[in-house]
Amino acid sequence: MADMVTKEKRYGFMPGCSLPSYNPEAVAKTIEFLNATFPHFSAVQKCCGKPTKAVGQYDLFKERFAGLQADMDDMGIEDMIVACQSCFLTLKEASSTPVTSLWALWPKIGFPDDLKGKAADSDIVFTIHDSCSTRYEEELQDGVRWIMDQLGYQVHESKHAKERTRCCGFGGMVVPVNPEIAQKVMVKRVETLEKENVVVYCAACRSSLLKGGAKAWHILDLIWGPVVNEGDDSPMDVLASPIKSWVNRYKAKRGIVHAMR
Amino acid sequence: MADIKFSDAVIDTAGTVVNKCMGLEDAPCMSACPMSTDAKGYVNLIAEGKFEESLKLIREKLFLPNTLGRICAHPCEAKCRRGTEYGEPISIAALKRFAAERADDESLWDLTKADATGKRVAVVGAGPSGAQAAIELARSGHDVTILEKLDVVGGMMRVGIPEYRLPRNIIDHEYTYLTSLGVQFEFGVEVGKDVTLDSLREDYDAVILAHGAHKGSIVPVPGHDAEGVFSAADYLREISLTRSFPRAGKRIMVVGGGDVAMDCARSSWRIGAHAVVQCSLEDDETLPASEEEIREAKEEGVAFNAGWGPDEIYVENGRVTGIRIRRVLSVFDASGRFNPCYGDETKEFSVDTVIFATGQKVEDITSGALEQKQGGRYVVDANTLATSMENVFVAGDAAGTNIVIEAMAYGRKAGLSADRYLTGRTLDDGRDFSREFSYGTKLDVPIPEGTEDLPRLSPNLRDPRVRKRDFDECDTGFSDEQALKEASRCLKCECRLCMRECVMMNEFGSCPKDILDPLVNRGEMDPLLAYSCNGCDNCTIVCPHEFQLKKVFVGSRKDFVAANRGESPMKGHKVIKLHQLLGFSKFFTTKIRGRKK
């Protein structure tokens, strides 16, 4: 985790891949918020190259990551804020730029006053599904819980939370190779969540949990979207459609440009 | 794809896993059984109500489940984790009896035999080791004859273990398995008297000596040669065969703290004793007898003097009139040798009979041809039970075992050796001796989460005031309901914790050791295995060794790519390739430096 938050530094933000493909509006609002928070701020939309690395193409990964690093350097970014846990780990390992998770950052910069306690009257109880890639990143996990508390939502901690979380089924680029196994993992994950309504902080996890039979919201849906109540349906599985995903990715790019104006 | 060469890190990690993974380790109960009976397996089949399947599993190793279910000294229970963790081991032996009583049927007996070899084998002694040796040899196609000194089968199970613990009809019935296999019996033949070992060696192609340790021993304290002093072996044999012992009086002192001593004490009531007293060098904490036997003896009113040794037997007119016993301070000296040390405190008892249950010896039936060591045990090769005579093998107590199930394991071992000898093979080539007796298990796993400390089910024993006056069986056995309840306590000891977490590994094998064996031993791995790992580390979290299997599965992917011209070998990854091209393309990417505020 990067150093203390300081307004002297130039922060950057990258939304990753699955989040802009799922919810471009949430990306834009997050950037607006960060841009308003930090005096020096840049935004980048590009893949971190994790999928290339995960299939074993290490040389190609290095090449691709160098492109991202050049973008970050070009934008003068001194600390990169990420919303994706794979980006977090990839940058932590491969980048010369310090990396901060958006979820760990939020408690340090404070929650927008107009959003505080917005769900205090909601009767829904969420289980948090932690991303397995950051199972040992306690600060990040605590930040998610802090955000849920700021929003005013009730949270149930399942037995398989934080360090003991289970894979949603998406990791390791298994889905296109062994979809039957991936589907079984998704169902198994949902079975161990104890509650029907799940909040996640990874859009790919959200898609997997929907496939596994749960109702799932991204935490940015809860922050920027309407208050959710017991019985509400969760947003559709956008990532299941490649066309919608790429359209959204493009929309996110436009949204970033707009938000940074 | 070209030939793949896995990197050292992958091979090294996989090697450690294959070496240390506990996934294929046997449960402690099974590894403790000299016959490697799958206790966990049959107990759980009982728990599932599959009594016949349970019995069949037992019969894969044991021809006398109903007998052993009553009298096995159950080394399995000593290692049961319900015992080592909570002091409440599963009643494994009693469950075996239940399975046998509930489901055994001659139609289930496996009478498969190899083609006849024309070789003849003589087995001396119809006890458990002789019977097991005979079974192994008959199954291998040899012609087997058991020569038995007595007129009955069972050996020490028949003339050592009392009837109230093991009804004789059960032994007789279970031994019919041998006759069904074609084993011949000659009763009333005493080797060394009626026939010599030399003549057996000539008349038969191989001989197995399994005549047990039936010679009682008497501690030479003053008065030990008086009328009224007997060895446990003689005492129990006569009571077993006749339900009486006319030379005994009514007030009995049994010297000894083992199961045999308990059998003598309890048998004494049944032949009409008025008072039964015990003494032993070992104190209450170190009594070698099983807890059950001690408890049942106490229930029947045997007066215990554990930690007191015989000092002098009082004799009048050549007959026992009493005994003085002396407080034992220690049994073993500083160097661990048997060297009892006594104090000044003494007690006297007015008794007319003293029984020494202080060990038994092996009689020499070879006229000195085979060397004997302590206790008369013949000198044998520990692995093969071969002797200095090429066609003579020794089994059971005559070779050093102490309990029935051990004797059976030695019977099997001697039978396997004799079969090799008879078929012209070496006795040891390609043989895993470690699996022919109890062995250690590497299995060391945490107790399953949520395990409750549930008590061991007590046997259904008849009222001690009634049972001590007859020879009927004390323990009436478990009901269905009791057996299901008791069997359900089994912790099903195994590791394979990762297999409960990981979905994908279950598609490729039974545990990491099994799954990675081809990689370690042949340098092979299915790319689908490597590419089915989510890399989530759930395996590592539960693994007692914290093995990072991800390092093998995900770690090997770069080796697959290297062998496949820089591309993933998986067709499905074409999607990822496209996805990545787009994810880095100008059309979908942007970078903006925010304005100065």
**The 3-state secondary structure of chain A, one letter per residue:** CCCCCCCCCEEEEECCCHHHHHCHHHHHHHHHHHHHHCCEEEEEECCCCHHHHHCCCHHHHHHHHHHHHHHHHHCCCCEEEECCHHHHHHHHHHCCCCEEEHHHHHHHHCCCHHHCCCCCCCCCEEEECCCHHHCCCHHHHHHHHHHHHHHCCEEECCCCCHHHCCCCCCHHHCCCCCHHHHHHHHHHHHHCCCCCEEEECCHHHHHHHHHCCCEEEEHHHHHHCCCCCCCCCCCCCHHHCHHHHHHHHHHHHHHHHHHCC
In order of B70, B185, B243, B467, B554, the CA distances from B301 in angstroms are 22, 41, 20, 12, 68
Contact A176 B575 (CB under 8 A): yes
- Catalogue the long-range contacts made by B263-266 (C-beta closer than 8 Å, 24 or more residues apart): B263/B160, B263/B161, B263/B162, B263/B165, B263/B232, B263/B236, B263/B293, B263/B357, B264/B232, B264/B235, B264/B236, B264/B355, B264/B357, B265/B297, B265/B302, B266/B162, B266/B164, B266/B296, B266/B297, B266/B300, B266/B302, B266/B468
Report DSSP letters for B174-198, one per residue. Answer: HHHHHHHTT-EEEES--BTTTB-HH
* Phi, psi (degrees; rounded to nearest 5) at B460: -90, 95
Token pair for B280: 């032993």
CA distance B36 to B60: 10
Asked if A97 reaches chain B (Cβ–Cβ under 8 Å), the answer is no
Contact A188 B503 (CB under 8 A): yes
Residues 6 or more apart whose Cβ sits within 8 Å of residue B559: A56, B4, B5, B6, B7, B10
DSSP β-ladder status, A154-156 and A125-128: parallel
In order of A99, B310, B442, B462, the CA distances from A144 in angstroms are 17, 76, 42, 65
pLDDT tens profile B373-414: 999 999 999 999 999 999 999 999 999 999 999 999 999 999
Q: List the single residue in A41, A46, A64 with the smallest CB-CB distance to B594.
A: A41
Burial of B88 (0-12, 13-18, 19+ CB in 10 A): middle
Asked if B570 reaches chain A (Cβ–Cβ under 8 Å), the answer is yes
Q: List the single residue in A51, A181, A246 with the smallest CB-CB distance to B503.
A: A181
Q: List the single residue in A55, A60, A169 with the smallest CB-CB distance to B534.
A: A169
Sorted by where each begins, the domain ranges of chain A are: 10-109+243-259, 113-238
DSSP state of B22: -
Residues 6 or more apart whose Cβ sits within 8 Å of residue B449: none
Asked if B590 reaches chain A (Cβ–Cβ under 8 Å), the answer is yes
Asked if B440 reaches chain A (Cβ–Cβ under 8 Å), the answer is no
Sorted by where each begins, the domain ranges of chain B are: 8-23+496-583, 28-108+445-487, 120-213+368-432, 216-360
Percentage of chain B lying above the pLDDT 70 cut = 100
Asked if B7 reaches chain A (Cβ–Cβ under 8 Å), the answer is no
Contact B592 A167 (CB under 8 A): no
User: Taking a C-beta distance cutoff of 8 angstroms, is the pair B349, B369 a contact?
Assistant: no
Residue B415: strand pairing partners: none
Tell whether the model's pLDDT for residue B579 goes beyond 80: yes
Residue B245: strand pairing partners: none
Please name the amino acid found at residue B403.
I
Chain B interface mutation, best of A35, A178, A183, A249, highest count of B Cβ atoms under 10 Å: A178
- Residue A1: its pLDDT value, please? 43
The model's confidence at residue A199, banded by pLDDT at 50, 70 and 90, is very high
Residue among B157, B102, B97 at smallest CA distance from B126: B157
Contact A181 B566 (CB under 8 A): no
Contact B541 A132 (CB under 8 A): no
User: Taking a C-beta distance cutoff of 8 angstroms, is the pair B231, B213 a contact?
Assistant: no
Element holding B552 (H helix, E strand): helix B550-553
Tell whether the model's pLDDT for residue B172 goes beyond 90: yes
B120-213+368-432 maps to CATH 3.90.800.10 = no
> Nearest C-alpha of chain A: how many angstroms from B22?
22
Contact A166 B501 (CB under 8 A): yes
DSSP state of B211: -
* CB < 8 Å to B592, chain A: 42-44, 75, 256-257, 260
Place of tokens 């963790």: B85
- Residue B597: its pLDDT value, please? 72
Chain B interface mutation, best of A21, A159, A181, A258, highest count of B Cβ atoms under 10 Å: A181
Asked if A248 reaches chain B (Cβ–Cβ under 8 Å), the answer is no
Token pair for B541: 């979290």
User: Taking a C-beta distance cutoff of 8 angstroms, is the pair A222, A211 a contact?
Assistant: no
Residue B189: strand pairing partners: none
Percentage of chain B lying above the pLDDT 90 cut = 98
Contact A173 B576 (CB under 8 A): yes
Q: Please state which of the four CATH numbers 2.60.40, 1.10.10, 3.40.50, 3.30.379 is assigned to the domain occupying A10-109+243-259.
A: 3.40.50
Q: List the single residue in B535, B556, B589 with the smallest CB-CB distance to A172.
A: B535
Residues 6 or more apart whose Cβ sits within 8 Å of residue B51: B45, B98, B99, B102, B103
Contact A256 B592 (CB under 8 A): yes
Asked if A170 reaches chain B (Cβ–Cβ under 8 Å), the answer is yes
The model's confidence at residue B546, banded by pLDDT at 50, 70 and 90, is very high
Asked if A155 reaches chain B (Cβ–Cβ under 8 Å), the answer is no
Mean pLDDT of B217-234: 96
Contact B594 A35 (CB under 8 A): yes
Contact A163 B534 (CB under 8 A): no
Contact B560 A56 (CB under 8 A): yes
Q: List the single residue in B558, B572, B589 with the smallest CB-CB distance to A177.
A: B572
Please name the amino acid found at residue B303.
A
Mean pLDDT of B304-330: 97
ipTM of the complex: 0.94
User: Taking a C-beta distance cutoff of 8 angstroms, is the pair B94, B427 a contact?
Assistant: no
Asked if B503 reaches chain A (Cβ–Cβ under 8 Å), the answer is yes
* CB < 8 Å to A54, chain B: 535, 554, 557
* CB < 8 Å to A177, chain B: 528, 531-532, 570, 572-573
The model's confidence at residue A2, banded by pLDDT at 50, 70 and 90, is very low
Mean pLDDT of B439-453: 94
DSSP β-ladder status, A215-218 and A197-200: parallel
- Runs of H (alpha helix) within B243-328: 259-270, 291-299
Q: List the single residue in A42, A55, A249 with the smallest CB-CB distance to B593.
A: A42
Please name the amino acid found at residue A114.
D
Q: List the single residue in A47, A164, A172 with the smallest CB-CB distance to B580.
A: A47
Q: Please state which of the four CATH numbers 3.40.50, 3.30.70, 1.10.260, 2.30.30 is assigned to the domain occupying A113-238.
A: 3.40.50
Nearest CA in chain A to B506: A181
Report DSSP letters for B43-73, one per residue. Answer: HHHHHTT-HHHHHHHHHTT-S-HHHHHHH--
Mean pLDDT of A225-254: 97
Task: Give the 3-state secondary structure of residue B582.
Answer: helix
Place of tokens 């489901």: B103
Burial of B298 (0-12, 13-18, 19+ CB in 10 A): middle
According to the 3-state scheme, what is the secondary structure of B308-369? EEEEEEEEECCEEEEEEEEEEEEEECCCCCEEEEEEEEEEEECCCEEEECCCEECCCCCCCC
B216-360 maps to CATH 3.40.50.300 = no
* CB < 8 Å to B576, chain A: 51-52, 55, 173, 176
Tell whether the model's pLDDT for residue B585 goes beyond 60: yes
* CB < 8 Å to B538, chain A: 132, 166-167
* Phi, psi (degrees; rounded to nearest 5) at B144: -115, 135
Task: Give the 3-state secondary structure of residue B143.
Answer: strand
- Please, which residues 175-194 of chain A have a Cβ atom closer than 8 Å to chain B? 176-179, 181-182, 184-185, 188
Mean pLDDT of B6-34: 97
Q: List the single residue in A44, A58, A246 with the smallest CB-CB distance to B591.
A: A44
- Residue B1: its pLDDT value, please? 63
User: Taking a C-beta distance cutoff of 8 angstroms, is the pair B226, B315 a contact?
Assistant: yes
- Residue A194: its pLDDT value, please? 85
Q: At what angle do helices B232-242 and B259-270 cross, to 10 degrees?
A: 40
User: Taking a C-beta distance cutoff of 8 angstroms, is the pair A13, A36 a contact?
Assistant: no
Contact A42 B568 (CB under 8 A): no
CA distance A53 to A48: 10
DSSP β-ladder status, B206-209 and B120-124: parallel
* CB < 8 Å to B5, chain A: none
In order of B162, B267, B477, the CA distances from B259 in angstroms are 11, 12, 20
pLDDT tens profile A158-192: 999 999 999 999 999 999 999 999 999 999 999 99
Tell whether the model's pLDDT for residue B596 goes beyond 80: no
Asked if A251 reaches chain B (Cβ–Cβ under 8 Å), the answer is no
Asked if B541 reaches chain A (Cβ–Cβ under 8 Å), the answer is yes
Domain boundaries B28-108+445-487, corresponding CATH code: 1.10.1060.10
* Phi, psi (degrees; rounded to nearest 5) at B551: -60, -30
The model's confidence at residue A7, banded by pLDDT at 50, 70 and 90, is confident
- Residue A3: its pLDDT value, please? 52
- Calculate the average pLDDT of chain B: 96
> Nearest C-alpha of chain B: how many angstroms from A249?
6
pLDDT tens profile A63-89: 999 999 999 999 999 999 999 999 999
The model's confidence at residue A57, banded by pLDDT at 50, 70 and 90, is very high
- CB B521: neighbour CB atoms within 10 A? 11
Nearest CA in chain A to B558: A56
Same fold, B120-213+368-432 and B216-360: yes
> Nearest C-alpha of chain B: how many angstroms from A169?
7
CA distance B21 to B442: 9
